[in-house]
Amino acid sequence: MAGSYRMCVCFTRKFKVTEAGPPPDVKEAFFKYTDGGTHMSAEQLWRFLVEVQGDGGLSIADAEKIVEQVLQKMHHIAKFTRHTLTLDDFHRYLFSADLNPPIRDQVHQDMTKPLSHYFIYTGHNSYLTGNQLSSDCSDVPIMKALKRGVRVIELDIWPNSTKDNVDVLHGRTLTAPVELISCLKCIKEYAFSSSPYPVVITLEDHLTPDLQVKVAQVMITETFGDMLYCPECECLEELPSPEELKYRIIISTKPPKEYLKAESGKDKGNKSQREKDSDDDTWGKEPLDLVSDQEDGDVIDTDTSEDSDNESQQPGVSAYKRLIAIHAGKPRGGLKEALKVDPNKVRRLSLSEQALEKASENHGTDVIRFTQKNVLRVYPKGTRFNSSNYKPLIGWTHGAQMVAFNMQGYGRFLWLMNGMFRSNGGCGFVKKPDFLMKVGPRGEVFNPKTKLPVKKSLKVKVYMGDGWHLDFKSTHFDLYSPPDFYTRVGIAGVPGDVIMKKTKIKEDNWTPVWDEEFTFQLTVPELALLRIEVHEYDMSEKDDFAGQTCLPVSELIPGIHAVPLFDRKGEKLNSSRLLMRFERIFKLRALEPPEEVKVLFDRYSQNGIMSLDDLRGFLVEFQGEYSATREDAQAIFNSLKHLNIFSRRGLHLEAFFRYLLGDLNGPLSAGVHHDMTQPLAHYFMFTGHNSYLTGNQLSSDSSVEPIIKALLKGVRVIELDLWPGSKKDAVEVRHGGTLTNPVDLLVCLKAIKDNAFQASEYPVVITFEDHLPENLQAQVAEMVTKTFGDMLYRPETDQLQEFPSPESLKKKVMISTKPPKESKTSSKKEQWNSEAAASKSDIETSDKDEVDDGENLQEDEEEMTVPEYMHLISIHAGKPKGGLQNWLSIDEKTVRRLSLSEQELENATRRHGTDIVRFTQRNLLRVYPKGTRITSSNYNPFVGWAHGAQMVAFNMQGHAKHLWVMQGMFKANGGCGYVKKPEFLLSNEVFDPNRVLPVKKILKVTIYMGVGWDLDFRRTHFDMYSPPDFFVKVGIAGVPEDKDMKETKAIEDDWQPVWNQRFEFRLTVPELAVLRITVLEYDTSGQHDFGGQTCLPISELRTGIRAIPLHDRRGDKYRNTRLLVQFELN
């Protein structure tokens, strides 16, 4: 394209529009990801999108589609032999507003909260085509607003001139009316053309009762039908959510007690003069109010006790009232009364922009508290005759949901409004930041007047612009030469964030290249909007407007993006756009103690120093460490000596805080402290199932690695399945009847010997599931004897009358099995399959390892022909003849081990619960996963523990909540792998697990804060665009009556979240309860990211403020990530 510009009468200059090449950053990115090549493949593009653009959810297939779209769009060829991008293609892709926009175009916020949790795109006098005094009323501006995504439409309804129908008009003005029915039909047709979320119609009602009935029964009900949302009760206690209200119409109004005659009111329009809207270049300065207290035609409602009485006397008024889902009105009294929160109902309050400004001066926190439950609508002052608008940030900062704007106007404030509601896919509902919804422990809420620190920095780079030559005439900006463009870029937000900067002027260029970078410090990024304007410089006159946009900072996608521009009215220009780069830099704030820690330090210190005696007093009085000595306090001092903050005179606040977060202040009692001299049957034992498998039960490898890992975590019972090798002359460990690869038995035995007592000195039990012929059993006996030597525990008699104690078995290895009479290799697969089938049909299953052969234990043992194998067995396993009653029979002369599947146990507990408890007081009960758990998942361990089962066998190679609970239980007693059963499971008065028990203890848990994620995770691990939004789930795992789960609020954009929330749990069986804590990173999709977990036995919790280390999904402890939590147990 070439443009001709006249310089004088006889001379013209021609300028050619040349396409600017890629900026240096684009070239650098291209060559980096193509390794210096000339073409970018889909895989290389995918890497760029993930690493630079933050599109972590994209796949290579998505990148291939993008390549295809770029080639089709740029080269207009449906079939393209080349499937790579050149540098120019890559540049054009980045510069395409359709393919590479700056914000997401899908709904991604949580839409299940009450309406009061959202900013709502709201119109004011939505029927006006122009100014407030003399323009026409029409359904056209309503249609335009709905198509743009506006969700709140305001209609002023009045009797028509003959008093027999209803018009919409701006009362007491010269505006021409439009029939209400036309507006309603327009709303029905276009309500959901741009968004499925609800449309609210606010009616400013000036009707007689008979016309109200007509509006209710004839117009609204017949027009909207099932689309209309009519609440079941007259006053809602809580507003429904946008998700619940999809495709619904909501009516909001307060019917007056009687018809408000026009002549009874004062014509406020005559009391004020016209006001010119300031849309000058200076941001944020509009004219002062000419008449300070004037409001527009919005009805000022006052709730009175006569209201309902008067209305009830009017025929048909009840039908009109039933339509109202959101009640509007102001209670009697002043602003303080208007802002009172009624716990039993919600309502809508309307304030003018002036009234809100005054309220914010003295009642800012009251306004925020009101808007957490109720709806606040803010509307323009009455002197804005030209349909100008006002600063929306004042309303948003105070939580106002409906900041009502004149959508038919234009100006910078309307640009901001449009920018805010580009958020969340442009659906018209934007979830309010959490800080506006948060209530502190003392009822405190966000104070907009508080001076806040910088939370994040936004880097914006303006590379270049293009497209004006396609959207404007060649002489639009300058008759004599091409335009001289510059860009203004800045922040609209809270006062401390407002700023405006600009690029240099690029002369005579339709495709200007600026390549300038700006940095903005933000204290409240959640409410900040990035303002972008392009102007054409004019030396002698006012600079020409060339496009604008506003983008919510919280929604910006990092990386290089095309930013489309809009005209003054907010309509998108066809081609004009900028190429920009966005980068958000989050400042990790200094670690600071919670307020409660500061209070404690002040209480136990003197003049800012905590001495040895002061610290000991804190340990004894507050932490409940009644046996703490000065030596214990000195050990804490010594652990902090390497820090610069340490003082010889004692601890400063920071050192005291470091101690509270440190390893010396853990949540559990250290070391083995249970009585370890009782028989093994008196202990829960950390037990593995198929301990040799690396993964699933069907096709994973058998290996010594999972055995070693289990032993190092404190597992004390290792299970090995013994099978003949392929040549029948060696012994393998594998899962029979599956595709799992084998491992040599000898390798497993040596691994057990080398690692058995690394984590605990208490005995290791090896349970053999034996499928061997006699010759191989003899070989096993020799292997075991030679491998373990003196470590092997051999009972003096063939049958123990009582199990020895863990203390007497320190550093001993025990063998437990039921020797078969013959090898069962051929039947293994049938056993596996039959177990799976039985599981599906709810038939009681036999242990795959211990198929009952129909003979009792003594007969089996008499027929054994391998005595050396028999002598290995210290814990005899097997099921006597008969059914469950016989299995649970107790022999006073012998002890044994019984194995039940999880299903068998559940079935048995229904009728034989006390029999099981009685059996486990003397004998061992092993519970194992059902055969259909082919993914190596686990089950609820509390069914076994509540019935005294010592060996609740788990797949240790799995990972999920049940395994976390198992690991939590065995953190007890110093993590030695043996936890003494509660006395009630050993008492002569046999415990009945099915009996409902009274509350025995109350546990109070206060979650203060968390630290360490920034050290244990990559910066973009949780979110490519911003720091994580952590929340904590805390609850109880235990007997059914004690189970509970609660959660904190999510703290946005913070690597060091402070929750300061307290929870209470009522416990009936605290001895078996485990405290579950899981940290998640909030995701609007509902698929929250995992941020750590731990489970802690409540019986072992140390009271006071404690540091809680977190673990990953597999139970491995993070190096730095932990929570600061307080425990109180009453």
> What is 1001-1129's CATH superfamily?
C2 domain (2.60.40.150)
Q: In the prediction, which pLDDT does 100 show?
A: 95
- Which alpha helices (H) appear in 372-420, and where do they start and end? 392-397, 412-420
For 983, other C-beta atoms within 10 Å of its C-beta total 10
Q: In the prediction, which pLDDT does 15 show?
A: 62
Under a CB-based contact definition with an 8 Å cutoff, are residues 403 and 378 in contact? yes
Options 3.20.20.190, 1.10.3720.10, 3.30.2130.10, 3.30.470.20; CATH of 116-262+292-436: 3.20.20.190
Burial 445-473 (b: 16+ CB within 10 A, else e): bbebeeeeeebbebebbbbbbbbbbebbe
Q: In the prediction, which pLDDT does 826 show?
A: 36
Distance CA 972, CA 651 (A): 31
Under a CB-based contact definition with an 8 Å cutoff, are residues 570 and 414 in contact? yes
Residue 1046 β-bridge partners: 1034
For 588, other C-beta atoms within 10 Å of its C-beta total 10
Tell me, which fold does domain 24-94 have in CATH?
Recoverin; domain 1 (1.10.238)
Options 3.30.230.70, 1.10.238.10, 3.30.70.270, 2.30.110.10; CATH of 595-665: 1.10.238.10
Average of per-residue pLDDT values in the chain: 87
Distance CA 663, CA 1094 (A): 15
481-495, 841-855, 930-944, range with the lowest pLDDT: 841-855
SS3 state of residue 689: coil
Name the residue among 289, 328, 57 with its Cα closest to residue 204. Answer: 328
Put simply, whether the predicted model's pTM sits higher than 0.75 gets the answer no
Name the residue among 189, 186, 180, 178 with its Cα closest to residue 138. Answer: 178
Q: What is the mean pLDDT of residues 503-529?
A: 95
Instruction: Reply yes or no on whether the pLDDT at 305 is more than 90.
Output: no
Q: What length is written for the chain?
A: 1130
Same topology, domains 116-262+292-436 and 1001-1129? Answer is: no
Q: pLDDT, tens digit, for every residue of 620-675? A: 999 999 999 999 999 999 888 877 666 677 899 999 999 999 999 999 988 999 99
Domain limits, the chain: 24-94, 116-262+292-436, 456-586, 595-665, 680-985, 1001-1129
Under a CB-based contact definition with an 8 Å cutoff, are residues 585 and 631 in contact? no
Here the tokens at position 512 are: 């200007």
Q: In the prediction, which pLDDT does 825 show?
A: 38
First and final CA of the chain: distance in angstroms? 83
Q: In the prediction, which pLDDT does 13 show?
A: 62
The better pLDDT of the pair 165, 454 is held by 165
Distance CA 172, CA 633 (A): 80
Place of tokens 């038995």: 745
Instruction: Reply yes or no on whether the pLDDT at 874 is more than 80.
Output: yes
Options 3.40.50.2300, 1.20.1260.10, 2.60.40.150, 3.20.20.80; CATH of 456-586: 2.60.40.150
Q: What is the mean pLDDT of residues 143-149?
A: 97
SS3 state of residue 108: coil
Distance CA 936, CA 932 (A): 9
The better pLDDT of the pair 237, 58 is held by 237
Distance CA 735, CA 702 (A): 8
Q: In the prediction, which pLDDT does 846 show?
A: 38
Q: What is the mean pLDDT of residues 407-415?
A: 93
Name the residue among 783, 770, 779, 882 with its Cα closest to residue 828. Answer: 770
- What confidence category does residue 319 fall into, taking pLDDT thresholds of 50, 70 and 90? confident
Catalytic residues: 124, 170
Options 3.30.390.10, 3.20.20.190, 3.40.50.720, 3.20.20.140; CATH of 680-985: 3.20.20.190
Q: Which residues contact 701 (CB under 8 A, 6 or more apart)?
A: 693, 694, 695, 740, 741, 743
Distance CA 71, CA 741 (A): 49
SS3 state of residue 734: coil
